[in-house]
Amino acid sequence: MTRYEPAIDVTALDAIDVHVHIEAGAHGHASLPPDLVAAASKYFAVDASGLGLDAVADYYRERRTAAVVFTVDAETSLGHAPVDSAEIAAGAARHPDVLVPFGSVDPHREDALDRMRRLVEDHGVRGFKFHPTVQAFDPSDERWYPLYAAMEDAGVVALVHTGQTGIGAGMPGGRGLRLAYSNPMLLDGVAADFPTLQIVMAHPSVPWQDEAISVATHKHNTWIDLSGWSPKYFPEQLVRNANSILKRRVLFGSDFPMLTPDRWRRDVEQTALKPEVLPGILKDNAVRLLGLGS
């Protein structure tokens, strides 16, 4: 087993994409069950099954962009085993010049804490991805606090989905998935109780954008990534704050394969984001967050 160690030359990069899904694992295993893959493909008008790790590395290397890669372990709620986070870390270890692995642990697992520790210590993951709606948990519930404490102690990042989701959209009852678990205000208490845990609120948090901005303004251990939406649809207040008081804690993310980095970077030119803040959003803020600088 090769433990991931980053070998990223940040000076050679144009950008760091902090939100890249690995939906295709070894032997053709998909991270989501077939009905959700089909529904997501229809919703996003893409092939939501995605690329394997080696292909993702090649794709991002061609674009002089590093990628934070992960899946979502929601086996309890979905009844479907995810792509193995250890497999993702191993793939990143093959491509340490361009990939940064995050793990994912189903909070409902009895061995969640042990899995988390092993992914950090044995495999070298640099953070963890959570999707409260898909994983069916309230992130503010103190029963999950041991997980946050372990991440804080290890110095790794918590990347948490916020806002609505295309996963389950259009299916009967949204396939039972509950959007309310992804209100960013549920992370305010977590940020208060774990003040050195770096928490990324993933996506423009529609319909709770003001809540996300409020949390990020008050809790400086929180960040906002701009993935999952074409920039031309960003809420006006998000752009205004990204240009000013939050400019050092806003991050470029695509949500690949649902949204490509090419489209994101093309569409950002249609926004009012200031040219002088874009280098921070595209790369420099992520370098600080991930500890990739010299």
Q: For position 149, which CATH number holds?
A: 3.20.20.140
What's the structural domain count of the chain?
1
Tell me how far apart the alpha carbons of residues 166 and 186 are, in angstroms, rounded to a whole number: 20
221 falls within a domain: yes
Q: Is residue 1 a part of any domain in this protein? A: no
Show Cβ contacts of residue 132 under 8 Å, excluding neighbours closer than 6 positions: 138, 139, 160, 161, 181, 182, 186
> Quick check: helix, strand or coil at residue 99?
strand
Any idea of the CA torsion for 171, 160, 77, 75, to the nearest 10 degrees? 120
Tell me which H or E stretch contains 136: none
The conformational region for residue 96 under phi > 0 = left, psi -120 to 50 = alpha, else beta, is alpha
Place of tokens 């990069």: 13
Residue 3 lies in a domain: no
In a domain, 2, yes or no: no
Domain span including residue 110: 10-290
191-248 pLDDT tens trace: 999 999 999 999 999 999 999 999 999 999 999 999 999 999 999 999 999 999 999 9
Q: What angle do CA 120, 122, 127 make, to 5 degrees?
A: 20
CA distance 259 to 229: 7
Enumerate residue ranges in the chain where pLDDT < 50: none
What pLDDT sits at residue 36? Answer: 84
- Residue 5 included in any domain: no
| Cβ atoms 90, 3 nearer than 8 A | no
- The predicted pLDDT at position 45 comes to 73
- 283 inside domain: yes
Torsion of the alpha carbons at 141, 145, 146 and 148, rounded to the nearest 10: 120
Q: Which two tokens stand for residue 41?
A: 């493909």
* Nearest of 88, 46, 85 to residue 67 by alpha carbon: 88
Determine, yes or no, domain membership for 142: yes
Cis peptide before 172 (omega within 30 of 0): no
Whether pTM exceeds 0.75: yes
Domain for residue 170, yes or no?
yes
